[in-house]
Amino acid sequence: MSDRILASTRKGLFVLERGAAGWAIARTCFLGDNVAFCLADPRDGAWFAALDLGHFGCKLQRSGDGGATWQELPVPAFGPDDEVVTGDGKPPQPATLRLLWTLAAGGPDQPGRLWAGTIPGGLFRSDDGGQSWQLMRGLWDRAERKEWFGGGYDSPGIHSICVDPRDPRRVRIGISTGGVWRTDDDGDIWTLTASGMFAAYLPAERRLEPNLQDVHRLVQCRAAPDALWVQHHNGVFRSTDGGASWREVAAVQPSVFGFAVAVHPREPDTAWFVPAVKDERRVPVDGHLVVARTRDGGASFTVLDAGLPETPAFDLVYRHGLAIDATGARLAFASTTGGAWVSEDGGDHWHAVPARLPPVLAMTFA
Amino acid sequence: MARVVLAPALARWLPDAGDGEIVLDVPGDSVGAVLDGVFARHPVLRAYVLDERGAVRHHVALFADGRSLARKTHLDHPLRPGSELHVLQALSGG
């Protein structure tokens, strides 16, 4: 069970710890800087912080001592001839790193391996702990990549990386907007695996194209890795065959729109969502912040709000803003208006972290 | 030798930096040459000032002897001995 959460926010990294009196801020790193995402490497306990400094670009920092000190690492870089070509009619642009959107650790038998998902749609791999990065050209050079486009951003982005616990050479990624892709060989050859998803907002003749699906978040059950959940732009989809096929989960209450999803590490039928009014508004339904939980694979949902705000709340939870710890005992989520809540009973009861944080971009158990 | 002034928001990313701006005397007869001298001394700064294609970042401003450099990719702008090159971030964002 994890007693520590890394809250990546618009104005710094906040280390939240559970003490005798409950959760509180134990340490603040990079105060004032935009921290897009943090990875806590389960292999050696190192923390990686992806900074989005705006003026000065994207940066990567590593701490081996729980955030007391940090060392800067190189960031992934595109080649001089790489171009971002998108399927939505934007003119081609030189490929430059816009956002280091997510990081993932390789398998236990792959020391030094890290994965980085970026905007504009490049997946990078490091085999030396982040000292150097290689663009996965087997994906980048695919013709389908030029059909991807940005969801909320100008360019497409890779926000979800699931390293298969059975075989870490097998990796699945979620792309907004570019569906779900899988490699079985460390990133050389890629297969598009989003059949069954549909994009309700596209012209009818293109709605079923797997490559155009706006995946907001992809998660994988650790104990049953063929069980995958996706929060998609127009709903929730589930796969029980490793992504070969997907079916819609329409029963999410109070709405099917959202960004975040978490799956229980041992119970593939148990997942949580933080629904919102669909795309043009992106606020909780009726100003009431709730979590939706299914325990039966999406057949039914329970709306959970014990301990969440009773007054009107317009918190939006981003795709990395909902986290579950490795044991499944603890859940945490945090919002763009700086609220953070933790549950120690599967979401039945929530406890507000006593702080008004900057807008939260990601929550990571460490 | 040009005098390079790094704004505090940039200088703070240097190891052991304080809170204020940093002033360096760097040889070179052009903006690019002087910046190369800065980066040789502080390699970490290159990726803060230039993007991966070698262009000055969109929100980084260079002032040579008080005049902003209009064409950000024109690193061959000449500097004379005693020139001052200010490197600062544009006042955008929030």
Q: Is residue B6 part of a domain?
A: yes
pLDDT digits (tens, 9 = 90+) for B15-71: 777 778 899 999 999 999 999 999 999 999 999 999 988 888 888 989 999 888 876
ipTM over 0.90: no
Q: Is residue B58 part of a domain?
A: yes
- Predicted local distance difference test score (pLDDT) of residue B27: 96
For residue B73, the Cα-to-chain-centroid distance in whole angstroms is: 13
- Predicted local distance difference test score (pLDDT) of residue B71: 64
Q: Is A57 in Cβ contact with B47 (below 8 Å)?
A: yes
- Predicted local distance difference test score (pLDDT) of residue A336: 96
Q: Is residue B94 part of a domain?
A: no
> What CATH number is associated with residue B21?
3.10.20.30
CB A179 within 8 A of CB A160: no
pLDDT of residue B73 exceeding 70: no
Q: Is A57 in Cβ contact with B51 (below 8 Å)?
A: yes
- Predicted local distance difference test score (pLDDT) of residue B91: 61
pLDDT of residue B93 exceeding 60: no
CB A239 within 8 A of CB A298: no
Q: Give chain B's domain count.
A: 1
CB B59 within 8 A of CB B88: no
Q: For chain A, which residues make up each domain, given as ranges?
A: 1-73+326-366, 193-315
Question: Which among A72, A77, A96 is the nearest to B44, CB-wise?
Answer: A72
Q: Is B89 in Cβ contact with A55 (below 8 Å)?
A: yes
pLDDT digits (tens, 9 = 90+) for A278-328: 877 888 999 999 999 999 999 999 999 999 999 999 999 999 999 999 999
Domain of residue B79, residue span: 2-89
pLDDT of residue B94 exceeding 50: no
Query: Rounded CA gap, A350 and A136, in Å?
Result: 40
Contacts of B60 in chain A (CB under 8 A): 55-56
How far A94 CA lies from chain B's nearest CA (Å)? 9
Question: Which among B52, B53, B60 is the nearest to A55, CB-wise?
Answer: B60
Q: Which residues of A37-72 are buried (b: 16+ CB within 10 A; e: fewer)?
A: bbbbbeeeebbbbbbbbbbbbbbbbbbeebbeebee
- Predicted local distance difference test score (pLDDT) of residue B20: 85
Contacts of A94 in chain B (CB under 8 A): 53
Q: Which residues of chain A have pLDDT under 50?
A: none
Please tell me whether the overall predicted TM-score, pTM, comes out greater than 0.80 for this model: yes
Residues of A with CB under 8 A from a CB of B: 53-57, 59, 72, 74-75, 77-78, 80, 94, 96-97
pLDDT of residue B92 exceeding 70: no
Q: Is A80 in Cβ contact with B47 (below 8 Å)?
A: no
Question: Which among B51, B60, B92 is the nearest to A96, CB-wise?
Answer: B51
Query: Rounded CA gap, A148 and A212, in Å?
Result: 6
Q: Is residue B17 part of a domain?
A: yes
pLDDT digits (tens, 9 = 90+) for A216-234: 999 999 999 999 999 999 9
Q: Is A56 in Cβ contact with B13 (below 8 Å)?
A: yes
Query: Rounded CA gap, B59 and B36, in Å?
Result: 19
